[in-house]
Structure 1
Amino acid sequence: MTVTGNIILNHQQIQHKTRRIAYQILESNVNEEEIIIAGIANNGFVFAQKIKAELEKITDAVITLCEVRIDKQHPLTAVTTSIAKEAYIHKPLVLIDDVLNSGTTLIYGVKHFLDVPLKNFKTAVLVNRNHKKYPIKADFKGISLSTSIQEHIDVVFAEKDMAYLI
Structure 2
Amino acid sequence: MRRLAVATALLLAAPALAETDFRALSEGERLLLGAELRAVLRAHPEIVERALTPSLYEDDIASDLALIARHADRLFAGHDVALFVEDSCADCDRAAKELQDLARARGLSVNIVSPDAAPDIAEDLQIDTLPFYVLPEVMLRGAMPAHVLGRFLDKL
TM range (shorter): under 0.3
Question: Which is higher, the Rg of structure 1 or of structure 2?
Answer: 2
Structure with higher strand content = 1
What's the TM-score, normalizing by structure 2?
Answer: 0.28
Q: Give the TM-score of the pair, scaled to structure 1.
A: 0.26
User: Going by fraction, where is helix more abundant, 1 or 2?
Assistant: 2
Q: Which of the pair has the greater relative contact order for Cα pairs under 8 Å at 6+ separation?
A: 1
